Amino acid sequence: MSFKVLSAKLAAAADQELMSTGGFSIDQLMELAGLAVAEATHKSFPLLKDVLVLVGPGNNGGDGLVAARHLKLWGYNPSIYYPKHSSKPLFQNLETQLKNLDIEFISSLNAINNYQLIIDSIFGFSFKPQGGIRPPFNEVIQTVNKTSIPILSVDIPSGWDVDDGFVEGGLRNPDVLVSLTAPKPVANHISEKTQHYVGGRFIGPKFAKKYGIDQYDYRGYDQVLKLSKI
């Protein structure tokens, strides 16, 4: 079975609708998205504490910053690599929250092998691989690819094409993919071995129907659901 997916165009429209007629602020949505990422991390790697969060310049990066905060409060030890800071107030505030928790912002990846897990929140569904991956993220991805550290990717594996999957220069296949709102087409191109979670428990049945996505059968108060390809 393949996943019902949300194209990049529809994903952008869905985000836009959530934040206009949906009444959500980006603060709320990012909080819930980041929480979903943190929960998927906890479910997938309950024993790994030293987490490196690779943060890109856009909203995908913001999801990673929120996830790092939750993980720290849950007893993990996240460090942040965030080479292209956003100057938007929301992002600066997320940085403040992390610094108040004594979360380390590292300035190079020289010690990458000290980490047990990498959270890839570099690029999201709006990344276009046609122009290549701009520095420093091209090198960041190559540095990660030289390691065997497990990777959890936020929404799409960074550097991949949202529709067609892996592109030369992109991240190696992640161990875990956390699709936000709903899987993107790229989810049907990841390895069968990749654990796939969906985190979109902020949308209701009418919204799911309008966008042609599944209403997932989340459990209890979980913000994520592990999907199966079977």
Alpha-helical regions (H) of 45-136: 59-73, 89-100
Alpha-carbon distance 94 to 227, whole Å?
30
Footprint on this chain of a copy of itself (rule: CB under 8 A): 21-25, 27-28, 31-32, 35, 38-39, 42, 70, 72-74, 90, 92-97, 100-102, 201-202, 204, 206-207, 218, 220-221
Closest approach, Cβ 200 to a copy of itself, in A, equals 10
Residue closer to a copy of itself by CB (options 189, 201) is 201
Residue 153 assigned ligand-binding role: no
Question: Which one, of 219, 213, 230, lies nearest residue 179 by Cα?
Answer: 213
Residue 27 assigned ligand-binding role: no
Residue 59 assigned ligand-binding role: yes
Residue closer to a copy of itself by CB (options 82, 123) is 82
Residue closer to a copy of itself by CB (options 97, 126) is 97
Q: What is the DSSP letter of 208?
A: H
Kind of pairing, strands 225-227 and 195-199? antiparallel
Closest approach, Cβ 33 to a copy of itself, in A, equals 11
Residue closer to a copy of itself by CB (options 107, 221) is 221
Residue 214 assigned ligand-binding role: no
- The sign of the dihedral angle between the CA atoms of 204, 205, 209, 210 is negative
Alpha-carbon distance 119 to 37, whole Å?
9
Please say whether the beta carbons of 153 and 178 come within 8 A: yes
Phi, psi of 51 (to 5 degrees): -110, 130
Closest approach, Cβ 39 to a copy of itself, in A, equals 5
Q: Which residues contact 205 (CB under 8 A, 6 or more apart)?
A: 215
Alpha-carbon distance 150 to 106, whole Å?
19
Residue 164 assigned ligand-binding role: no
Residue 199 assigned ligand-binding role: no
Q: Hey, what are 2's tokens?
A: 């393949």
Closest approach, Cβ 194 to a copy of itself, in A, equals 21
Residue closer to a copy of itself by CB (options 163, 214) is 214
Positions at the binding site for K(+): 60, 120, 158
Positions at the binding site: 59-63, 120, 155, 158
Positions at the binding site for (6S)-NADPHX: 59-63, 155
